[in-house]
Amino acid sequence: MRDAAAWSKLMSIAFVCNGLGPFGLKILNATGLSAQQSKYLFWWYAGGALFAAGAFAKGWAHLCAKELALGAAMGLCSLGGQSFTGLSLAHGVPGHIVFPVTTGGSLFLVAAAGIVFFKERVGPYGLAGICLGICSLVLLSIS
């Protein structure tokens, strides 16, 4: 039960923090501070790494080398995505275009990779989740 509680705690933190990175990029762009995005992203990801190190030091979760490598790879991919999102905003692409494309692109890539490379079968709940994700992106981009 301890592992389920730790997982729930960490997933709740991830859920809350997930949108804060892109939100900060939008704020930097709106206030004319787009040139500061590399510093912002450095500190954002450094803070995340320190938080993760603290969580593991506290014993909230256990870590093996394979998980560390996977987490580092995911962090680098996330950093790349956030960097290109910030560059798009800095070069004048409107936020109502940038955010649905980056979010929708992630949704599409994850679903496609699961189906094509890992031969996952999408059940009714998974299909409903993908459809709801697409609908929410459409609603966000037209509002």
d(CA 97, CA 88): 10
pLDDT of residue 2: 60
Tell me, rounded to whole angstroms, the distance of Cα 76 from its chain centroid.
11
Q: What are the backbone dihedrals phi and psi of residue 18, each rounded to the nearest 5 degrees, phi first?
A: -55, -40
Predicted structure pTM score: 0.72
Domain boundaries, the chain: 1-85, 94-143
pLDDT of residue 1: 44
CA atoms within 13 A of residue 38's CA, in its CB half-sphere:
1
Q: What's the average pLDDT block by block, 10 residues per block, for the chain (143 residues)?
A: 73 78 86 89 89 76 79 88 91 86 82 89 89 82 69
d(CA 130, CA 106): 11
d(CA 57, CA 136): 38
pLDDT of residue 83: 92
C-beta separation of 82 from 25 below 8 A: yes
pLDDT of residue 61: 62
C-beta separation of 2 from 8 below 8 A: no
